[in-house]
Amino acid sequence: MITKALTTRKKRLSPHLELSNSRLETMCLLIMGMVNARTVNLSHLACEFPTDGKVESTYRRLQRFFQHVDLGSDWAAPLLVKMIGSGPTWHLCLDRTNWKIGQRHVNFLVLALVTRRHRIPLMWSVLGRAGNSDTAQRIALMKRYLSVFEVSTIKFLLADREFIGAQWLDFLHKNNVPFVIRIKANQLVTTQDGKTQNLSTLLRTCRGKRNFDARFGGNNLGEATWFSFAAKRIKGGELLIVVSNRPAHRALATYKKRWAIESLFGDTKTRGFNLEDTRLTISKKLELLLGLVALAVAWASKTATKLIGGGKMKRKKHGYFAKSFFRIGFDQLRKLLRSDPNAAVSPWILIPPIITRVV
């Protein structure tokens, strides 16, 4: 059964990836191994391969895969969208995840696709250093997205306070990318009545929700863009302020969906594939690894879709789900890989022989 399931995956991926049969087989077994072993560590994955060869030989095979395979930056994005069968539009969430391997920093800038049930990494870049991304890196990532998908696929781009800056917001606005981004309370703005002050002063009496239009900076900025702002106080009295290039009446509710990317990072790490177990530090290898993990996340998520269908997920007394959508699919997928591998690979059949640009 494993051989037949492996053939199905290879058949669906081969038209889209310029890989030899041996490399493609290694890729498919890697993804399956990540699910079974719940880790991306190559020494552990070498024990998961269904082969009579020595573990040391399999480990060397995995090392050669990451050493020699280079699929480019965005090879996985169209495959991921087709596998989860998303509708014509979705939310995008932008954030970073980082950790250290010895003294080396691993720092991913990730653009994630978020729907009502699914959350998967879609595109990413390795920053190669510790700390925040800069404007050029964010713009470069969004340009890559717009080269593969139409801007009409974006409901909203969501990001937290790290992802601000006049040039960045101007780029999004000029390219008609709808966004809701949290900003800092010390940001200076000019309101429509001509007053220039920082947001904390402007909102010092804010108790409920407040919507208003303003532009960044002072009155001397001439043709600076007017944006919509929404604000409210959250626990502890802190101000939650978001800016958008769309009407602000639903901005705060939309911004709540940004938390999905935080949950996604948990799926790729301790709740799922333990991404931080990797010993890889070279950017090209890390980008390839995250592509494999993204396919595994989409596989688990689509397995949950098949299991639950249109049914409701179980909730506990406090109102939260007993299990996340990802975890339901992940547990079911691990079970199927041991009991019925042919049923486990059914989501891969959703990937068509030819993928065109998503409009």
State the virtual CA torsion across 348, 148, 168, 95 in degrees, nearest 10: 10
pLDDT at 85: 87
Q: Could you tell me the pLDDT band of residue 311, with boundaries at 50, 70 and 90?
A: confident
CA pair distance 218, 225, nearest whole angstrom: 12
- Specify whether 245 is located in the same domain as 119: yes
- Residues present in the chain in total: 359
The yes-or-no verdict on residue 320 having pLDDT over 80 is: no
**Burial state string for 115-147 with b = 16 or more CB within 10 A and e = fewer than 16:** bebbbbbbbbbbbeeeeebebeebbebbebbee
The tally of domains found in the chain comes to 2
Inside any domain, residue 37: yes
Inside any domain, residue 190: yes
- Specify whether 83 is located in the same domain as 227: yes
- Specify whether 173 is located in the same domain as 289: no
pLDDT at 217: 84
Inside any domain, residue 20: yes
pLDDT at 51: 82
Inside any domain, residue 269: no
Please write the tens of the pLDDT for every residue from 336-357: 999 999 999 999 998 988 766 5
pLDDT at 294: 98
pLDDT at 27: 97
Inside any domain, residue 339: yes
Q: How many CA atoms lie within 13 A of 227 on its CB side?
A: 26
Q: Could you tell me the pLDDT band of residue 333, with boundaries at 50, 70 and 90?
A: very high
Interval 291-316 mean pLDDT: 89
Write down the mean pLDDT value for the chain.
92
In a 3-state reduction of DSSP, which class is residue 271? coil
Kindly give the pairing relationship between strand 179-183 and strand 119-126.
Answer: unpaired
Q: Please give the model's pTM, rounded to 2 decimal places.
A: 0.94
| Helix axes of 135-148 and 77-84: crossing angle, nearest 10 degrees | 60
Residue 188 tokens, joined? 């200076």
pLDDT at 243: 97
Interval 137-160 mean pLDDT: 97
Q: Could you tell me the pLDDT band of residue 225, with boundaries at 50, 70 and 90?
A: confident
Inside any domain, residue 34: yes
The yes-or-no verdict on residue 305 having pLDDT over 60 is: yes
**What CATH number is attached to the domain comprising 232?**
3.90.350.10
Q: Which domain holds residue 38?
A: 1-71+281-350
- Specify whether 126 is located in the same domain as 63: no
Helices (H), the chain: 2-13, 21-37, 42-45, 55-68, 77-84, 135-148, 166-174, 199-202, 251-255, 259-268, 283-308, 325-339, 341-344
- Specify whether 3 is located in the same domain as 103: no
Residue among 109, 98, 174, 100 at smallest CA distance from 135: 109
- Specify whether 124 is located in the same domain as 195: yes
Q: Which residue has the higher pLDDT, 313 or 140?
A: 140
Report the amino acid identity of residue 253. Answer: A
Inside any domain, residue 332: yes
Q: Could you tell me the pLDDT band of residue 317, with boundaries at 50, 70 and 90?
A: low
Interval 138-157 mean pLDDT: 97
Please write the tens of the pLDDT for every residue from 163-188: 999 899 999 999 999 999 999 999 99
Residue 57 tokens, joined? 């030989």
- Specify whether 122 is located in the same domain as 208: yes
**In contact, 344 and 302? CB cutoff 8 Å:** no
Q: How many CB atoms lie within 10 A of CB 339?
A: 10
